[in-house]
Structures are given as C-alpha cells and as structure tokens.
C-alpha cells in the first residue's frame, strides 16, 4: 500500500528543495501560459491543443517519475503543489493534464520493474498518459463491462467504450480496465470470478488527427457545463489489441493501494482554483467603489473594501483556502510518512478522499460567494467568476464525492465487529 510507495520513493533520491524550486518555476511559467489561453478554449469548448508542446517542453510530465527511471522524483506532496499552481492558472486545462499525473502516480505503484522501465522511460521522453475508466454503468464502484477477450496468439482484444476519456487527444499511452472473458467473450458468471477478472492494462495509444486508430477511436462527445478545455471524450475500443506484456495487475486489488494519486490530485486541482478565486476576488473588491449609495449603506462615497460583509467574505474565503491547503498538504505528508498505516484499513481511501471533498465543498462555496460579493458583472459570460463557478461544479463528480465518503465511513463504523461469514 502506501508503505510500498514510500519504500519505492526511499529507494531513490528524493527531490531536493532546490530541484523542487526549479520545477515549481517551470510550473509557474506553464500556469501563466494556461491562464493566458484558457479563456479562448473555454469559449471554443475544445481541448487546448497548443498546450501539448508547452507541457512537453516544460518537462513536468516526468515530475513524479522516480529518478531511477530518469524522472524528477517528486513525491505526492510535491506533485500536489505543482498541480495546484497549474490549476491556479487555468482549472480546465490543468484538469486535463491532471489525468497524466494521476496515471503516472498510480502506474508506478502497480507496474512491474520492466513495465516501469519501458513506460515511465517513455514518460521521461515526453510521452503523455491517460486512463479512461468510467463507463456508462461502470466506474469507481461498478465492475468494468468492457471486455478483454483472450487471443489465440496471446494478449487480448478489448471491446467496449469509456465515456470520460480525458486527455486522449494529447496522449501517447493508454491505461484502462477491462474484464477478462473466456475465448468466446463471455464475462465470468460468479461475482468473485468477475472481481478477479477485472484487470488493468497499458498499451500504445496511436490515433490520427481525427482520433482514429487501429481498433480504437476518440468520439468527440464533450459538451458540459464547465471544464470545457479538458477534452473529455468517449473512447471506443473496437477490438483494440493489447499484447501480453500490457497486462498490469488485477484492477481492484491494485487500485486499492494507489488511488490516493487520483483523489489527492483532484483535491489539488480544487485547491488551485481556490487560490484563483481568492486572488480574483481580492483584485476586484480591493479597488471597487460604488460612489454615492443610499441602501444598506447611505454615504457619499462607498468603497466596497470598507463594507462589513465584503471584508468578512474575503476573510471567510481566505480562511477556507488556508484550511484546504493544510488539509491537502497534511494528507499528502501523512501518506509520505506512512502514517496511513495507523488508519483502519477499510477507511484508508475515504479518509484520503476527505481532502478532495473538503476542497470541493470549499471551492463551490467560494465561487458562489465571490459572485455574490462582486455583483452582477461576475455573472456575465467571459467573467472569470462565472467561469470558475461553472468549473467548480465538476468537483462534485470525481470519486470519492461527499456522499460516497460519508457512506463508506458510516458503513464501516456501524458494521458489527464479527466477521461476515
């Protein structure tokens, strides 16, 4: 579990503070670029294609790859800081690249040594990874309906579709989960067998400019309230071949120990958004004047930064940012230190997930509050606040959401001590 990851990191040189500072500077530059072009791709509702070259040039794709595979060796806390900085620039573009960081983090804990050398080596060379997992029915809790049919020559052909395929348009490597069937393509009949047959795979992802590949294609279906520039499309697997060495592990057993890379990177996205909301709200509200007013305040000249509920509002937002920062950083640090070993094993993932749900609730509260404090101009299309409000709504969906977390925790705490035989 996390101890494995900790050990994994202890095997290599940790990223030094100087190395981190240099990488963070790169993240700041990339964040500024994302900030500059983000509004255009939000309006156009497409993936921000020019970011691909910039992202690769930054070298940040290899940030969390251990040094022994040629990467920078950033741990989960350091990676979280990079993600938040990028998200401060543009939440949707960063949410797309967040997929890469999530999959690199998860894969390095699940890959064999040979797979790490091959695929992480590719990441160091600049390749980008994505991992479509959600299906129409299946996803975080639903076992994969997508099938991996064994082939006589070895390997599998994959049939099915994934409906939230973020970052596919920029990716060179695909990871996914599918359930291994019999030779005729029948799913295992018993529940236990089906759990064991659900497997995690990695393969080359090679599609043309229209998203068409050999047995795999991207169908551009993304059209959502927010997070427009993520390029989250439907990925069709239509007999996509994965050779034997593309099998990684049994999915549920493997994912159990590495899901913090998903949960905490999502938390980092929403923490970065909180930084941005506070920054933008301060910028507007510190300068705004209302002139002569005759309402709740009757005065010849009303400066909003002197208005009680504005002051309180900014203070409240700043408090939420600081609390969220501490929750995310502390959770990351506890994982780095192996302190999660002291948590009940059944509660490990929901406890890690609390950082994400906390940031999610705070960012949604903050975007709404910021619009209220700034006033009607924030509601107009193109205003950063309306954009952040839409984007923050995406935080309700990535697992674990608040309801799932509470259900997990409550169920475990109310369960009888006796074994369930």
Partner 1 sequence: MSTFKDADEVYALIGRAMEACVVEPAFVEATKDGNLVVLIKQTDPEAYILVDFPGQKVLVGDAAQAASSTVQLRMSSDNANKFWQGKLNFTLAMAQRKVKLDGKRSTALALLPLTGPIFETYKAILAEAGRTDLLVG
* Footprint of partner 1 (CB under 8 A): 1-4, 7, 192, 195-196, 252-253, 256-257, 338, 340-342, 344-346, 415, 419-421
Long-range contacts at 116-123 (CB < 8 A, ≥ 24 apart): 116/69, 117/69, 119/173, 119/202, 120/65, 120/66, 120/69, 120/70, 120/71, 121/69, 121/70, 122/172, 122/173, 123/61, 123/62, 123/65, 123/71, 123/173
Among residues 8 and 241, whose Cβ is nearest to partner 1? 8
Q: Quote the CA–CA distance of 168 and 220 in Å, as a whole number.
A: 10
| Choice between 3 and 21, CB closer to partner 1 | 3
Q: Tell me how far, at minimum, the Cβ of 45 lies from partner 1, in Å.
A: 39
Please say whether the beta carbons of 349 and 372 come within 8 A: no
Ramachandran class of 31: left when φ > 0, alpha when ψ lies in -120 to 50, beta otherwise = alpha
Q: Quick one: how far is CA 40 from the chain centroid?
A: 22
CA atoms within 13 A on the CB side of 178: 35
Among residues 396 and 415, whose Cβ is nearest to partner 1? Answer: 415
Tell the smallest beta-carbon distance from residue 400 to partner 1 (Å): 15
Task: Give the C-alpha distances (Å, rounded to integers) separating 418 from 82, 347, 393, 414, 415.
Answer: 44, 17, 40, 12, 8
| Nearest residue (CB) to partner 1, 12 versus 195 | 195
Query: CB-wise, 1 or 318, nearer to partner 1?
Result: 1
- 111 in helix, strand or coil? coil
Complete DSSP assignment for 369-398: HHHHHH-GGGGSTT-HHHHHHHHHGGGGTS
> Least separation, in Å, of the C-beta of 411 and partner 1?
10
In total, the chain counts a number of residues equal to 421
- Minimum distance between the CB of residue 195 and partner 1, rounded to whole angstroms? 5
Nearer to partner 1, 4 or 311 (CB): 4
Nearer to partner 1, 18 or 421 (CB): 421
Taking the least distance from each CB to partner 1, the nearer of 29 and 250 is 250
- In the complex, minimum distance from the CB of residue 135 to partner 1, in angstroms, rounded to a whole number: 20
Could you say which DSSP state residue 207 is in?
B
- Work out how close the CB of 252 gets to partner 1 at its nearest, in angstroms, rounded to a whole number: 6
Alpha carbon of residue 353 to chain centroid: 12
| Nearest-approach distance from CB 200 to partner 1, in angstroms | 13
Residue 16 beta carbon to partner 1: minimum distance, rounded to whole angstroms: 26
CA distance 280 to 36: 15
């Amino acid at each position: 579990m996390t101890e494995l990851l900790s050990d994994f990191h202890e095997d290599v040189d940790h990223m030094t503070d100087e190395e981190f500072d240099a990488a963070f500077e790169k993240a700041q530059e990339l964040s500024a670029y994302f900030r500059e072009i983000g509004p255009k791709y939000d309006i156009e509702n497409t993936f921000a294609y020019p970011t691909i070259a910039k992202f690769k040039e930054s070298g940040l794709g290899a940030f969390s790859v251990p040094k022994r595979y040629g990467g920078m060796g950033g741990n989960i806390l350091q990676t979280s800081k990079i993600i938040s900085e990028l998200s401060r620039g543009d939440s949707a573009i960063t949410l797309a690249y967040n997929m890469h960081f999530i999959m690199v983090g998860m894969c390095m804990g699940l890959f064999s040594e040979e797979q790490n050398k091959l695929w992480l080596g590719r990441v160091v060379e600049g390749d980008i990874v994505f991992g479509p997992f959600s299906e129409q029915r299946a996803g975080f809790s639903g076992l994969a309906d997508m099938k991996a049919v064994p082939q006589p020559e070895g390997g599998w052909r994959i049939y099915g579709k994934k409906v939230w395929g973020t970052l596919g348009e920029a990716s060179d490597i695909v990871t996914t989960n599918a359930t291994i069937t019999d030779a005729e393509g029948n799913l295992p009949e018993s529940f236990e067998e089906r759990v064991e047959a659900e497997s995690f795979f990695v393969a080359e992802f090679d599609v043309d400019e229209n998203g068409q590949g050999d047995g795999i294609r991207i169908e551009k279906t993304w059209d959502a309230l927010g997070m427009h520039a993520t390029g989250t499309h439907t990925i069709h697997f239509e007999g996509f071949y994965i050779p034997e060495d593309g099998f990684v592990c049994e999915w549920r057993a493997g994912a159990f120990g590495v899901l913090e890379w998903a949960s905490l990177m999502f938390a980092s996205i929403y923490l970065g958004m909180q930084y941005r909301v506070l920054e933008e709200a301060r910028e507007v509200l510190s300068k705004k004047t209302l002139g002569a007013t005759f309402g709740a305040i009757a005065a010849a000249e009303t400066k909003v930064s002197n208005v009680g509920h504005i002051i309180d509002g900014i203070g409240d937002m700043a408090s939420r940012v600081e609390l969220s920062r501490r929750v995310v950083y502390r959770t990351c640090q506890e994982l780095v230190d192996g302190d999660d070993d002291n948590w009940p094993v059944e509660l490990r993932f929901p406890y890690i997930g609390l950082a994400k749900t906390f940031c999610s609730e705070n960012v949604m509260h903050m975007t709404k509050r910021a619009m209220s404090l700034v006033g009607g101009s924030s509601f107009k299309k193109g205003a950063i606040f309306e954009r952040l409000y839409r984007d923050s709504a995406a935080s309700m969906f990535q697992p674990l959401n608040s309801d799932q977390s509470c259900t997990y925790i409550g169920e475990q705490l109310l369960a009888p001590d006796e074994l369930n035989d």
